[in-house]
Amino acid sequence: MSAALVTGASRGIGRGIALCLASAGFDVVVNYASNAAAAQEVATQVQKRGARAAVVRGDLALAEDRARLVDASYEAFGDIDLLVNNAGVAPAVRADILEAGEESFDRLVGINLKGPYFLTQLVANRMIAAGTRGRIVTISSMSAYTASVNRGDYCITKAGLSMLTKLYAARLAEHGINVYEVRPGIIETDMTGGVREKYDRLILDEGVTPIRRWGTPDDVGRAVVAIATDLLPFSTGQVIDVDGGFHLRTL
């Protein structure tokens, strides 16, 4: 049985990815930062789907936590075939870029960008040493190219993840490790709960997405499963939009 490490798997998109992978036959390392109860609930659901689960706490902004997460993942399942860089946070307060402070910027860069960059380095080196022809998926956002001036720090970290994907795709191809970016659009999670009314209007009334509905964590999870089950063997560095067609920029 193959094994996947999914960061930020206790809720939202990460939870959806973990459950889709379990249904596809993957054992899952359920990483979380603070909500142990939610992570354990995901692990229970993974097991109900016939897969094994390991719950590992870790703050990706911290080097020691990243190292411990990787060690625990390999100890649990012997090998990791898939890394899903999903963990990410939004600004605690949306602030205009002319007024935003450095504390939020540093927090988001640490968790959203620095964490995945160096976690990927750790896992990639373990895959190379083991001869694993693994897959690495980074979950970014339509904010990688869509400017929101009241959360510039978030947009910058997501844009950085796009380059992270290209860099590791170019470096790891010789080792048979393909790297992908899955780019969600407007997904119904607790992170978007506070802007529900705004996006209902944009999606349902104004048609900002040609497919007029909210995305779901399951939509993103299905895209990850396609990669995980090697349905894209001759692609690497590829961006896969899961956004209802938002990227089409229709008039």
- The predicted structure's pLDDT at residue 190: 77
- The predicted structure's pLDDT at residue 200: 86
Provide the domain count of the chain. Answer: 1
Active site residues: 154
The whole domain housing 234 covers 3-248
- The predicted structure's pLDDT at residue 193: 66
Find how far residue 114's CA is from the centre of its chain: 14
Per-position pLDDT tens, the chain of length 251: 899 999 999 999 999 999 999 999 999 999 999 999 999 999 999 999 999 999 999 999 999 999 999 999 999 999 999 999 999 999 999 999 999 999 999 999 999 999 999 999 999 999 999 999 999 999 999 999 999 999 999 999 999 999 999 999 999 999 999 999 999 999 998 777 667 788 889 888 888 999 999 999 999 999 999 999 999 999 999 999 999 999 998 87
- The predicted structure's pLDDT at residue 109: 98
- The predicted structure's pLDDT at residue 72: 98
Residue owning tokens 């049985």: 1
Domain holding 140: CATH number? 3.40.50.720
Query: What is the three-class DSSP state of 138?
Result: strand
DSSP conformation letters of 179-238? EEEEEE-SB-SGGGGGGHHHHHIIIIIS-SSSS-S-B-HHHHHHHHHHHHTTS-TT--SE
